[in-house]
Amino acid sequence: MTMSSSNCKRRIVGAAAAFGALLVAMTAAANPVPWQMNLDKGVTPVSQQIWNLHMAALWVCVALGILVFGAMFIAIVRFRRSKGAVAETWSHNTLLEIGWTVLPVLILIGLAAPATILTREMYNATDAQMTVKVTGYQWLWRYDYISYDGKPVSKVPTVWSRLAADSNAARQLDSGISPYSVKAADGSNSYLLDVTHPLVIPAGVKVRFLITADDVIHGWWVPDFAAKRDAIPGIMNDAWAKVDKPGTYLGQCYVLCGQDHSAMPVVVKVLPRDEFNAWLTAQQNAATLDKAARTARVEPQQPVPPKG
Amino acid sequence: MSSTAQAVHHEEHHQSFFERWFMSTNHKDIGTLYLLFSFLMLFVGGSFAMLIRAELFEPGMQLMQPYFFNELTSMHGLVMIFGVIMPSFVGLANWMIPMQIGAPDMALPRLNNLSFWILPFAFILLLSTFFMPGGAPAAGWTMYPPLVLQGGESIAFMIFAIHLMGISSILGSINIIATILNLRAPGLDLLKMPMFCWSWLITSFLVIAVMPVLAGAVTMMLFDRFFGTNFFNAGAGGDPVMYQHVFWFFGHPEVYIMILPAFGIISEIVPTFSRKPLFGYKAMVYAIACIAFLSFIVWSHHMFTVGLPLGAEVFFMYSTMLIAVPTGVKIFNWVTTMWKGSLSFEVPMLWAIGFIVLFSIGGFSGVMMALVPADFQYYGTYFIVAHFHYVLVGGALFSIIGAVYYWLPKWSGHMYSNFWSKLHFWSSVLSVNVLFFPQQFLGFAGMPRRIPDYNVAFADWNMVSSIGGFWFGASQLILVGVVIHCVFFSKAKATSRVWEHAYGLEWTLPSPAPHHSFTVPPVIDDSQLAHGDVSH
């Protein structure tokens, strides 16, 4: 295969641009942005359908608002006593009343039908190729890989996902550290949205999250996945997501869970599948080596998990 | 009759300050006490809100530890709901219902005294928790276990305070039902009553139905915390989600307890200043009854992400959306009442129009969050905070202030300052939107509620919201000035009708309304009914 030099250059530029765009997308896609006014579309088919439903409902509300407030505005302008308006005395109009009872019902059916279909889809966690157990603690997340590709995952160590140290230092009362100075590696602000160890999942794989908690109720949520469930002690909830676009996605605990409720972010890193497989193998090897080394040194077990 | 009048006069002369204000069985005095109490609590709960907005003014922790922030949000909710909105509606009911139905007083005057005087003690108990070891309850006004059970001993005081508030509102509601069903003037059929009486009659049944449910929920919590039971302890076979079901079975009708009387007030004010009968009076009554019924079968929409079965999600989505229909009917009817009327814009009308707009905005966001999939993206965010503040501040509180401006001349016998009361309205209606509209954006951007600190991406709208908050808080000081001026200093005498087109029995009494009114039942003139609909 031959390639002209200009074609080659164009390709390189194109690849660089694509890579740059990917980088931007990876860093910016999931972050809330200053002055943001609307939901993110997110990166899963479910989150995008929710966004469509949200916009439909929003526009219905805007239209009804224009209708109702518009009628009221016209009444306020036209039927003023100061302009000599004389009040009429009627107080009934059966046709009108039937109309504005039936019409809202029809509009609501129009919204409820797609919402019902979408709810069914959100509840369908069957055929997941991967299962991760998510446990909420005061105030961190614990991730355990349960199964992947139909096989149990046994050697990957538990991931403890706490607030990153720089955010933690800055958030203390009178810390003297500006939240604006807390930056991620890419330069974006990561105040309260960065963790020690993110959850890592593969792209293009339907992942089922089993969500529970060990002390009080927490809430596990990644807005861009529209994957969200309460994490409740004694109850195992599930949510799922199939993310095609690699990147880092951010969320926060959304159920009041005590003093550091604002300090338990959810960070999920989605890797391309081959990279993920490599990462998983590396984790397994490291764990095996670590275990062997510890056995050789006859050290005590790993320290007990940090708790509240 | 004249001897009765003299006896009444005699009694008034010999009432000491203590007898009149502490031992009163007079519906007007007790109504005043309720209103003053809730006014005081408005500033207590409001000061918590100011501290909350001050901490949220910019990212980072500047003023307080996060735990104290949680104490503030929890107590702000409890004080505003049980100390402001509910007692002020009861106060208005006390003042107005006997005067609107031509009754000499409430049916059970001593009970009335008791139901008010429980409240100050309940709130002393509740607020004293701030000074206890471990601090005030900090698990939100919803008090979800297991978190709430981590609190100090003070939660026993919170639970007892809630029991007392519940008893107070149940007694108040029994009184209102007894009054409306037994003491209406001859000829005043139920369907001739003013809308305010109707709204309170239905609300009273809601109160009696659900306050015991709340009492049950917090009693189970008390036993879990202090007596070794495990109702909500998953570790011993209990279920934390059961609390949420019981709580919201109370909580959702509670939402309507806080808005149905507002519907009644707006249905009084709008026809008066439109000089036109209330459109669809019967439909308005049925809509309130319908909303009250539906309020019992929608509770799980507060728990869509809790892991309900699919069928439950869908059922509660449909039942919730259904509420939009009767609520829509009410809003359409108010607008149609204004249509082809002869409108003037005295201060109560301004608040009523403000109510219709702001409550509708809150209603719209309510329809959006009724949709299960959409609610998954809204639940637990500032969008929810914006929603319930639009309906509770823009809705309930605006209607209460509107009612005060509507009936204050009747109560005090004086007109208030037109300039200052209009300034109060415009300042409030602008600031309340600066305060709460940006919170919808914050919710969409994913900012969780009940957090004292946030990422810098949320900083701008939070600062706008805080500025609106301080502005709204300061605006309410105008109301204090207006009321004090009107009651003690105003020279402008109010006529008995007060408003040109105000109909209903209360406007046949002189202003100020005499300490004892309708000792002889009035004769009902169907052309003078409050709602102006002569066909009923």
- B382-410 pLDDT per residue, tens: 999 999 999 999 999 999 999 999 999 99
Report residue B5's pLDDT band, with 50, 70 and 90 as the boundaries: very low
* Alpha carbon B9 to chain centroid, angstroms: 35
Q: B380 burial class (0-12, 13-18, 19+ CB within 10 angstroms)?
A: buried
A47/A53 Cα distance (integer angstroms): 10
A28 in a structural domain: no
Closest CA to A272 of A207, A184, A224, A200: A200
Contacts of B376 in chain A (CB under 8 A): 50, 122, 226, 228
Looking at the structure, do residues A102 and A226 belong to the same domain, yes or no? no
CB contact at 8 A, B459 and B445: no
Q: Count of CB atoms within 10 A of residue B388's CB?
A: 17
Looking at the structure, do residues A218 and A275 belong to the same domain, yes or no? yes
Q: How many residues does chain A have?
A: 308
Looking at the structure, do residues A115 and A240 belong to the same domain, yes or no? no
Mean pLDDT, chain B, rounded, equals 94
Looking at the structure, do residues A73 and A97 belong to the same domain, yes or no? yes
Among B148, B305, B527, pick the best mutation site for testing chain A contact (most A Cβ within 10 A): B305
Among A74, A163, A262, pick the best mutation site for testing chain B contact (most B Cβ within 10 A): A262
A197/A267 Cα distance (integer angstroms): 8
A17 in a structural domain: no
- Overall average pLDDT of the A68-94 stretch: 94
Q: Count of CB atoms within 10 A of residue B2's CB?
A: 6
Cβ-defined contact of B276 to A88 (cutoff 8 Å): yes
Q: Using only C-alpha atoms, what is the Rg of chain B? A: 23
Looking at the structure, do residues A145 and A282 belong to the same domain, yes or no? yes
B9 in a structural domain: no
B310/B81 Cα distance (integer angstroms): 32
**How is residue A157 annotated by DSSP?**
P
Find where tokens 């609520």 sit: B327
B390/B373 Cα distance (integer angstroms): 22
CB of B239 within 8 Å of a chain A CB? The answer is: yes
Parallel/antiparallel/unpaired status of strands A265-271 and A199-202: parallel
Looking at the structure, do residues A148 and A76 belong to the same domain, yes or no? no
Please determine, for residue A20, whether its predicted confidence score (pLDDT) is greater than 70: no
B340/B78 Cα distance (integer angstroms): 42
Q: What is the pLDDT of residue A308?
A: 43
Residue A191's SS3 state is coil
> Worst-scoring range by mean pLDDT, A6-15, A255-264, B128-137, B178-187?
A6-15
Report residue B535's pLDDT band, with 50, 70 and 90 as the boundaries: low
Please determine, for residue B11, whether its predicted confidence score (pLDDT) is greater than 90: no
CB of B377 within 8 Å of a chain A CB? The answer is: yes
Domain of residue A75 covers 45-83+92-122
Q: Which of residues 16-55 of A touch B (CB under 8 A)?
A: 31-40, 46-47, 49-50, 53-54
A74 in a structural domain: yes
Contacts of B445 in chain A (CB under 8 A): 32-33, 36-37
Alpha carbons within 13 angstroms on the beta-carbon side of residue B180 total 25
The residues that bridge with A263 in the sheet, in sequence order, are none
- Please give, rounded to a whole number of angstroms, the shortest distance from the CA of B2 to a CA of chain A: 40
Q: Identify whether B295 is a catalytic site residue.
A: no
Q: Count of CB atoms within 10 A of residue B277's CB?
A: 24
- Please give, rounded to a whole number of angstroms, the shortest distance from the CA of A14 to a CA of chain B: 31
* Alpha carbon A13 to chain centroid, angstroms: 33
B306 in a structural domain: yes
Q: Count of CB atoms within 10 A of residue B422's CB?
A: 15
Cβ-defined contact of B373 to A233 (cutoff 8 Å): no
Amino acid symbol at A14: G
B225 in a structural domain: yes
Please determine, for residue A226, whether its predicted confidence score (pLDDT) is greater than 50: yes
A6 in a structural domain: no
Q: Which of residues 73-102 of A touch B (CB under 8 A)?
A: 75-76, 79-82, 85-93, 96-97, 100-101
Looking at the structure, do residues A238 and A106 belong to the same domain, yes or no? no
Closest CA to A159 of A306, A51, A57, A291: A306
CATH number at residue B75: 1.20.210.10
- Overall average pLDDT of the A48-57 stretch: 97
Parallel/antiparallel/unpaired status of strands A140-148 and A151-152: antiparallel
Please determine, for residue A251, whether its predicted confidence score (pLDDT) is greater than 60: yes
B372/A50 Cα distance (integer angstroms): 9
B495/A53 Cα distance (integer angstroms): 54
Please determine, for residue A123, whether its predicted confidence score (pLDDT) is greater than 60: yes
Q: What is the pLDDT of residue A26?
A: 42
Contacts of B337 in chain A (CB under 8 A): 91
Domain end point (choices A122, A140, A170): A122
A11/A166 Cα distance (integer angstroms): 40
Residue A227's SS3 state is strand
The residues that bridge with A210 in the sheet, in sequence order, are A133, A238
Alpha helices (H) along B139-280: 154-182, 195-226, 240-257, 260-274
- CA B259 → CA A246, A292, B140, B154, B363, distances in Å? 47, 66, 21, 30, 12
- CA B197 → CA A23, A306, B99, B112, B518, distances in Å? 63, 58, 10, 17, 17
CB of B312 within 8 Å of a chain A CB? The answer is: no
Q: Which of residues 110-169 of B touch A (CB under 8 A)?
A: 138-140, 144, 146-147, 150
Q: Identify whether B360 is a catalytic site residue.
A: no
Looking at the structure, do residues A52 and A96 belong to the same domain, yes or no? yes
B374/B443 Cα distance (integer angstroms): 12
Please determine, for residue A21, whether its predicted confidence score (pLDDT) is greater than 90: no
B269 in a structural domain: yes
B201 in a structural domain: yes
DSSP A3-36: --HHHHHHHHHHHHHHHHHHHHHHHHTTS--TT-
CB of A58 within 8 Å of a chain B CB? The answer is: yes
A291/A284 Cα distance (integer angstroms): 10
Provide the percentage of residues in chain B whose pLDDT is more than 70: 97
CB of A6 within 8 Å of a chain B CB? The answer is: no
Give, to the nearest 10 degrees, the angle between helix B260-274 and helix B310-338.
20
Q: Which of residues 58-117 of B touch A (CB under 8 A)?
A: 59-62, 64-67, 70
B211/B137 Cα distance (integer angstroms): 20
Report residue A103's pLDDT band, with 50, 70 and 90 as the boundaries: very high
Residue scoring higher pLDDT (A27 or B125): B125
Q: What is the largest CA-CA distance in chain B?
A: 74
CATH number at residue A274: 2.60.40.420
Closest CA to A229 of A142, A120, A134: A134
Q: What is the pLDDT of residue A25?
A: 42
Domain end point (choices A74, A105, A122): A122
A243 in a structural domain: yes
Q: Which of residues 487-506 of B touch A (CB under 8 A)?
A: none
H or E element, residue A156:
none
Prediction pTM value:
0.92
Looking at the structure, do residues A138 and A272 belong to the same domain, yes or no? yes
Please determine, for residue A84, whether its predicted confidence score (pLDDT) is greater than 60: yes
Looking at the structure, do residues A216 and A136 belong to the same domain, yes or no? yes
Q: What is the pLDDT of residue A296?
A: 65
Domain of residue B521 covers 26-528
Q: What is the pLDDT of residue A288?
A: 80
Residue B23's SS3 state is coil
> Worst-scoring range by mean pLDDT, A25-34, A62-71, B226-235, B493-502?
A25-34
Q: How many CB pairs under 8 A join A and B?
A: 297
The residues that bridge with A229 in the sheet, in sequence order, are A220
CB of B364 within 8 Å of a chain A CB? The answer is: yes
How many structural domains comprise chain A?
Answer: 2
Residues 6+ apart with CB under 8 A from B148: B137, B139, B155, B221
Q: Catalytic: which of B225, B330, B410, B414?
A: B330
Q: Count of CB atoms within 10 A of residue A197's CB?
A: 17
Looking at the structure, do residues A111 and A157 belong to the same domain, yes or no? no
A98/B325 Cα distance (integer angstroms): 11
B236/A112 Cα distance (integer angstroms): 39
Report residue A302's pLDDT band, with 50, 70 and 90 as the boundaries: low
B74/B94 Cα distance (integer angstroms): 29
A1 in a structural domain: no
- This model of the complex carries an ipTM of 0.93
Looking at the structure, do residues A140 and A51 belong to the same domain, yes or no? no
Q: What is the largest CA-CA distance in chain A?
A: 98
Please determine, for residue B283, whether its predicted confidence score (pLDDT) is greater than 60: yes
How many structural domains comprise chain B?
Answer: 1
Report residue B343's pLDDT band, with 50, 70 and 90 as the boundaries: very high
Kindly state the tokens that stand for A263. Answer: 């300090």
A234/A242 Cα distance (integer angstroms): 27
Contacts of A34 in chain B (CB under 8 A): 456-457, 459-460
A28/A22 Cα distance (integer angstroms): 10
Nearest to B444 among A39, A71, A233 (CB): A39
Per-residue burial over B81-94, b = 16 or more CB atoms within 10 Å of its CB, e = otherwise? bbbbbbbbbbbbbb
Closest CA to A190 of A161, A223, A165: A165
- Overall average pLDDT of the B327-356 stretch: 96
DSSP B186-222: TT--GGGS-HHHHHHHHHHHHHHHHHHHHHHHHHHHH
The residues that bridge with B252 in the sheet, in sequence order, are none
B37 in a structural domain: yes
A25 in a structural domain: no
CB of A256 within 8 Å of a chain B CB? The answer is: yes
**How is residue A234 annotated by DSSP?**
T
B5 in a structural domain: no
The residues that bridge with A250 in the sheet, in sequence order, are A267
Kindly state the tokens that stand for B318. Answer: 């449909």
- CA B514 → CA B18, B26, B95, B509, distances in Å? 20, 11, 12, 8
CB of A263 within 8 Å of a chain B CB? The answer is: yes
A307 in a structural domain: no
Q: Which of residues 169-198 of A touch B (CB under 8 A)?
A: 170-175, 177-180, 189-193
